[in-house]
């Protein structure tokens, strides 16, 4: 699961042709108190217990959709931020934001810009409407503690492309994870 979180950095992600380069991820494991799967399978989190390479899409605080890629049963990687590349004008319309840096910065903003909704929960991320292409070269990465959670927040399972201006927030306790 941690390998998937780092392998996705630099990958191209598109939803119906709109998207960009993944620059920030967070990992969640089944035995992780911060994971939606920690207390077992429910109707709401069933996609997390399905096949790998499926989308687990949920609402955060009842407001914003969040996109995760299932890695193994009960484990997933949250896609936190993209560098917008494809369909930037469409993203601007969807988000009512003109500054490119802010279009896909944060999981809720990313989902709004790409028009990801709960209807995509459980879909393969390797087939339409998704398009996922891993990078030809591994980018320099950093890691730090996860953000926006209250349990197991100290785990350094947040990963980012080093120096990217498109992150949701700066990485805390940054270190180079490619050494």
Check: pTM over 0.85? Answer yes or no: yes
Q: What is the mean pLDDT of residues 21-50?
A: 74
The larger pLDDT score, comparing residue 53 to residue 151, is at: 53
Report the candidate in 32, 2, 31, 19 with the shortest Cα–Cα distance to residue 125. 19
Q: Are 13 and 126 in contact (CB under 8 A)?
A: no
**Choice among 6-10, 56-60, 162-166 with the minimum mean pLDDT:** 56-60
Phi/psi of residue 49, nearest 5 degrees = -100, 5
Q: Per-residue pLDDT tens for 144-161?
A: 877 666 666 676 778 999
For the stretch 85-141, pLDDT in tens is 999 999 999 999 999 999 999 999 999 999 999 999 999 999 999 999 999 998 999
Show the tokens assigned to 30: 């089944």
The residue count for the chain: 179
- Confidence (pLDDT) at 176: 41
Calculate the alpha carbon distances from 147 to 3, 150, 152, 171, 172 in Å.
Answer: 19, 8, 10, 9, 9
Q: Which domains does the chain have, with CATH numbers?
A: 2-176 (3.10.300.10)
- Tokens 């989902």 identify what position? 111
| Beta-strand runs (E) in the chain | 12-15, 18-28, 55-60, 64-72, 75-86, 130-133, 141-144, 158-161, 175-176
Q: Where are the alpha helices (DSSP H) in 42-148?
A: 88-95, 107-114
* CA pair distance 141, 159, nearest whole angstrom: 7
């Amino acid at each position: 699961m941690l390998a998937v979180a780092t392998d996705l950095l630099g990958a191209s992600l598109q939803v119906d042709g709109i998207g960009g380069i993944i620059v920030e991820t967070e990992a969640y494991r089944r035995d992780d108190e911060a994971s939606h799967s920690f207390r077992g399978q429910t109707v709401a989190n069933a996609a997390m217990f399905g096949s790998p390479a499926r989308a687990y899409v949920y609402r955060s605080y009842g407001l914003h959709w969040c996109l995760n890629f299932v890695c193994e049963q009960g484990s997933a990687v949250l896609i936190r931020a993209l560098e917008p590349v494809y369909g930037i004008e469409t993203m601007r319309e969807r988000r009512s934001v003109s500054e490119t840096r802010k279009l896909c910065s944060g999981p809720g903003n990313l989902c709004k810009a790409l028009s990801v909704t709960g209807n995509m929960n459980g879909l393969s991320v390797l087939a339409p409407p998704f398009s996922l292409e891993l990078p030809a070269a591994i980018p320099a990465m950093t890691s730090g503690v996860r953000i926006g959670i209250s349990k197991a927040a100290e785990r350094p399972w947040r990963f980012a492309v080093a120096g990217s201006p498109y992150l949701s927030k700066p990485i805390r306790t940054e270190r180079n994870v490619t050494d």
